[in-house]
Chain A
């Protein structure tokens, strides 16, 4: 039977209850949901691009559908995250809560609240504007929905704040934390807010942090590496809708898994690109050359994201905790997934993205 590669959309995060979801070895959304059920008010999620933050947030929503009023707010689909203000966020969150309460949970809401929301929607925020109704609108919304719902406590799942500049994200988070007594909040945070010298404020106020890291996939990571490769293979098995993976395909997927460094999106991009190379030769099954070609192309594109001085720092950091890399550079390398952080046996170790290996051997920054 031919393999159906059409379900590979690496750019598309999974949705709540998505049948394509595969449980991460470290728990992912299941862990976050368990924390909320146990009473955590605030959870911050962080990780490199492509690690699966949005998909795990969606899975958290799936796990909380019973017993909570869950409202997922994809801020990054609604706003330009490079120009976002607290006021924009308040109004969007209030609008989304009303939408879910009214249209999905059929909770009757007052005309007064709906009128306020319409007024705020039609009155865009401006930098110099003195009257900013967003915070009060959100408070009104959260309180009314909580009072009138029988489905349980409100949980807001906010996606997209990691795409803001750190400073602007911090003011949004500060503003949101002001309403923490009205709702539980799970949000994806920019790395600089949860790692390094800028993390102190959140560390002091947030109940739990969940790092959606690259999963271990390296041979030298033992059982953790085996589990990580199995997790990524399982993602492909589910998307191809196969009862089991043939051995030859599983071996090729292991190679792609190791090349991806354990970043699920990179892994899917490699597999999809390999399947395109096979299709070009009118083959349905992958071969080693397809995977190698995909790896070579991916490596060239990763290299474009390096700036002067990165190579020396990546070489020096390999196998260490990474703290010796100057903070600003370290954060950029981590966010881009050029330097990957692994947590195994209670120890954090960083390695350069495996596909940069050729560049590290070939190029010198000196």
Chain B
């Protein structure tokens, strides 16, 4: 599944110059960024930026790029992709799932080709929410809502795995 912790871990440890992380709504963006920070290599000190030019200027820093104009950012990275080859740490770009930036990848073959093994979608498409809620309950012993309540009470330890489960509970708990 493209939403597993393993995928995110692999993606952040594979030395790609650019990675893409999708978020489902602006309200979940900060949580998604926090998950990335947690799974990222411990030595990283990622910098958050909205300016795509930082990808070219700051070649040694891991960047968390949340572009104000997603389409312009995609087109810039597509047109100047090769200038990123020597990056010592990745640009992790956050795009709204199904938004104009993700759609622009269909017109950006150079960047899209690089990203085929470097996209993290915390919530892959065609989700059967009811079925996933049942599966969640089977695995954790709680419904997503109950799990979130327990998390907020501090009953669940703040571990890496539980942070990823938290993301999933957030998505499934809304339903």
Contact residues of A with B, CB < 8 Å? 9-12, 49-50, 74, 76-83, 160, 163, 265-266, 269-270, 272-273, 276-277, 279-280, 294, 296-298, 300-302, 304-307, 332, 335-337
Question: Cβ of A163 and Cβ of B79 under 8 Å apart?
Answer: yes
B57 to chain A, nearest CB (A): 14
Check A82/B112 contact, CB under 8 A, given A276-B10, A301-B119, A305-B106: no
Q: Which among B15, B79, B102, B125 is the interface contact of A9 at CB below 8 angstroms?
A: B15
The answer to whether A77 and B82 have CB atoms under 8 Å apart is yes
Interface stretch (choices B1-9, B26-34, B136-144): B1-9
Q: Between A and B, how many residue pairs show CB distances below 8 Å?
A: 96
Is the Cβ of A300 less than 8 Å from the Cβ of B121?
A: yes
Which of B14, B75, B83, B125 touches A276 (beta carbons < 8 Å)? B14
Residues of B within 8 A of A273 (CB): 10, 14, 117
Check B85–A301 contact: CB distance below 8 A.
no
Closest residue of chain A to B79 (Cβ to Cβ) is A82
Interface residues on B, range: 35 or more
Q: Which residues of B contact A163 (CB under 8 A)?
A: 78-79, 81, 110
* In-complex Cβ contact of A298 among B9, B105, B112, B117 (8 A): B117
Interface residue? B58 (CB, 8 A):
no
B7 — which chain A residues lie within 8 A by C-beta? 297
B106 x A80 contact (CB < 8 A): no
Task: Assess whether B79 is in contact with A277, with CB atoms less than 8 Å apart.
Answer: no
Measured CA separation A227–B21 after assembly (Å): 37
Cα of A10 to Cα of B117 in the assembled complex, Å: 10
- What are the residues of chain A within 8 A of B79 when measuring CB–CB? 80-83, 163
Contact between B13 and A276, CB atoms less than 8 A apart: yes
Q: Can you report 26 A-B residue pairs in the complex whose CB atoms are below 8 A from each other?
A: A49-B109, A49-B113, A50-B113, A76-B83, A77-B85, A82-B75, A82-B76, A83-B79, A160-B82, A163-B78, A163-B79, A163-B110, A266-B116, A273-B14, A276-B10, A276-B14, A280-B9, A297-B2, A298-B116, A300-B119, A301-B116, A304-B112, A306-B106, A307-B106, A336-B109, A337-B113
B76 / chain A contacts, CB cutoff of 8 Å: 80, 82
Whether A74 touches B82, Cβ cut-off 8 Å, given contacts A276-B10, A280-B10, is yes
Residues of B within 8 A of A306 (CB): 106
Q: Identify the closest chain A residue to B15 (Cβ).
A: A9
Assuming the contacts A11-B114, A80-B76, asked whether A335 and B10 have C-beta atoms less than 8 A apart, the reply is no
Q: Does B80 contact A (CB under 8 A)?
A: yes
Q: Is B115 a contact partner of A301 (Cβ separation < 8 A)?
A: yes
- Taking the closest CB of chain B, its distance from the CB of A188, in whole angstroms, is 12
CB distance from B124 to the nearest CB of A (A): 6
Min CB distance, A43 to chain B, in Å?
21
Cβ 8 A contact of B117, one of A81, A297, A304: A297
Q: How far is the CA of A280 from the CA of B7 in the complex (A)?
A: 9
Whether B35 is near chain A, meaning CB under 8 Å from some CB there, is no
Q: Given the complex of chains A and B, what is the CA–CA distance between A49 and B113 in angstroms?
A: 6
Evaluate contact between B15 and A277: CB separation under 8 angstroms.
Answer: no
Minimum C-beta distance from A290 to chain B (A): 10
What chain A residues lie within 8 Å of B13 (beta carbons)?
Answer: 276, 279
Contact A304 B102 (CB under 8 A): yes
**Which residues of chain B have a CB within 8 Å of any CB of chain A?**
1-2, 6-7, 9-10, 13-17, 75-76, 78-83, 85, 102, 105-106, 109-110, 112-117, 119, 121, 124-125
Nearest-CB residue, chain A, relative to B119 = A301
Task: Please measure, in the bound complex, the distance between the C-alpha atom of A80 and the C-alpha atom of B111, giving whole angstroms.
Answer: 13
**Pairs A-B, 6 closest by C-beta atoms:** A82-B79, A276-B10, A49-B113, A269-B117, A76-B82, A77-B82
A300 touches B14 (CB 8 A): no
**A11-B16, A269-B116, A280-B6 given. 9 additional CB < 8 A pairs?**
A49-B109, A76-B80, A76-B81, A77-B85, A163-B79, A276-B10, A297-B1, A301-B115, A305-B112
Chain B nearest CB, measured from A194 CB (Å):
16
For A332, list chain B residues within 8 Å (CB): 109
Of all chain A residues, which has the CB nearest B126? A362
CA distance in complex: A296, B117 (Å): 10
A50 to B112 CA separation, bound complex (whole angstroms): 10
Give B108 Cβ to nearest chain A Cβ, in Å: 9
Q: With a 10 A CB-CB cut-off, give which of B9, B105, B110, B115 has the most chain A CB atoms.
A: B110
Known: A304-B102, A304-B105. A77 touches B83 (CB 8 A): yes
B residues less than 8 Å from A266 (CB atoms): 116
Return A42 CB to nearest CB of chain B, in Å.
23
B-chain residues with CB within 8 Å of residue A79 when the two chains form the complex: 80
Contacts of B110 in A (CB 8 A): 49, 163
B105 touching A305 by the CB < 8 A rule?
yes
A335: nearest chain-B partner, CB-CB: B109
The answer on a CB contact under 8 Å between A80 and B80 is yes
Q: Once bound together, how far apart are the Cα atoms of A332 and B109, in whole Å? A: 9
Taking a contact as CB atoms under 8 Å apart, the answer to whether B106 and A300 are in contact is no
What is the chain B residue whose CB lies nearest that of A12? B85
- A10 contact set on B, CB distance < 8 A: 117
